[in-house]
Amino acid sequence: MKMQLGNRLLTVLRATTILGVGLAGLSAAEAASLKLMFQGDPYEVKIITETAKKFEVANPGTTVELINTPHDAYNEKVGAAVSAGALPDIMELDAPFLANYVWSGFLQPIAPYIDKALLDDMTASNISQGTYPVDKQLYATALVDSTVALYGSRKQLTELGIRIPTSVDDAWTKEEFLGALDKLAAAGVKWPIDLFRAYGTKTEWITYAYEPILVSMGCDVIDRTSWKATGTLDGATCVEAAKLLQGLVQKGWVVPQSAGGNQFYAEGRPAGLAWGGHWFYAEAKAQMGDDVVVMPLPKFGEKSASPNGTWIYAITKTASDPALAGKFLSFMLQDPEYRAAYAEHAGFPGIKSFAAASPLYAPGGAMAVAFEQASKSAVPRPPHPAYPTITLAFQQAMNNIFDGADAQEELSKAAKKIDADIEDNEGYAPFGQAN
């Protein structure tokens, strides 16, 4: 009885093994498959799905498997995929995390696999966000980039006699910026400025939108040659910058975190100015029409600075067929309908030919000033493998400072956290060595 059962089991096992091997052989011969992990707004999910289908039709025998991952849990999912040895062939990533991923050995240079024409078409800011500083190689590319601009109401600013700058070169100085806020406050505006604290600390917003203020004043979240935060982030200049922002909050001039992100165009326009991402233009325009005016970020110190960086596409080291992955990326980024979808949502161009076809960003367009920032004042966030820790520490510190904590104390704590992490990873060699 027992023997029989054992034999029967063995037979079944043998049969399934043969079947399995047979199937595996079949699928390997029959189709190449590409796995792509990404995140995005609903329109992005839709257009990427459609583009993938088109690619499958144009390349018979290739399947593209899309893994749509929630934005807020993306980095955790990457961690899980790495631990499980299940990284996709192509993965989207937030630009400042590139250095961490390359250093960790997840990605490979993409230039050999992408159409030369497309590479030559990338804007300088787009190239900088996809470049790993150690070997100066390009590891990622995208159609779009991003920036932050200052939005105002043309009517309101004109009435109050506040100058409207038209290019990066004549941006407001720190004094002009504070003067404008003063005038708005005196005119009875509820909150002279929205800094979009509503985005909270779960996004990249605080580091992304406010680090340029530090850079413009002449300091940074970390020294980009010695890769030490202590002495930079907790130095007098950064403390002064943090105190400046804290002062605005304490005067009651900044839209509080819990008031939402629509105070600039909500009924009665409670917020005078908005320190908002390029995506905010479409929202404001829909409510205020041509009254929205786009201005460059103020120049707080010697030089102008503005953010850049967005979600970009990289090919993983474990990709089964990097050439095919590159072929798909070249196909997608040059697909007219893919570009049209981004143009419709005011996508900030990271490709020159896409910029030329975007009237919004072309000279004379409403967002021309914002686009000018990409070539004149864009500063990428620190391209260093410790970035996840850097951004976490900085965001916590800034958020506490906004809420009234002592600026020096908070920034010192953040700087110590960052340096401790770098030490914990033995300096993230080859970073930090004289290069």
Partner 1 sequence: MSISQVPAANGRRRSALWGGRAQEITMLLPALALIAIFLLLPFLSSFRIALTNERLIPRPVPPRFVGLGNFQQILTDHDFWRALWNVVRFTLMVLPVQCGFALAIALLLNQKLPFRNFFRGLFFLPAITSMVVVCVIWATLFQYPTGPFNQIVGFLSFGLVQPIDWLGDPSWSMPAIVLLSAWQAYGFQMIVYLAGLQGISESLYEAAELDGANRWQRFWHVTMPSLRQTHIFVLIITTIQAFKLFTQVNILTQGGPRGTTDTLVHYMFTAGFVDQRLGLASAVAILLFFIVLIVSLVQRFVVRDRQ
- Which residues of the chain form contacts with partner 1 (CB under 8 A)? 75-76, 78-79, 82-83, 103-105, 200-202, 256-260, 388-389, 392, 399-400, 403-405, 421, 424-426, 428
Q: Give the shortest CB-362-to-partner 1 separation in angstroms.
A: 39
Which CB sits closer to partner 1, 87 or 324?
87
Q: Give the shortest CB-420-to-partner 1 separation in angstroms.
A: 9
State how far the Cα of 168 lies from the Cα of 307, in Å rounded to an integer: 13
Q: Give the shortest CB-270-to-partner 1 separation in angstroms.
A: 9
Which CB sits closer to partner 1, 177 or 191?
191
Which CB sits closer to partner 1, 83 or 225?
83
Q: Give the shortest CB-170-to-partner 1 separation in angstroms.
A: 36
Q: Give the shortest CB-425-to-partner 1 separation in angstroms.
A: 5
Q: Give the shortest CB-101-to-partner 1 separation in angstroms.
A: 9
Which CB sits closer to partner 1, 377 or 395?
395
Which CB sits closer to partner 1, 166 or 399?
399
Task: Name 81's Cβ contacts closer than 8 Å, sequence gap at least 6.
Answer: 37, 87, 88
Which CB sits closer to partner 1, 165 or 427?
427
Q: Give the shortest CB-291-to-partner 1 separation in angstroms.
A: 23
Which CB sits closer to partner 1, 106 or 281?
106
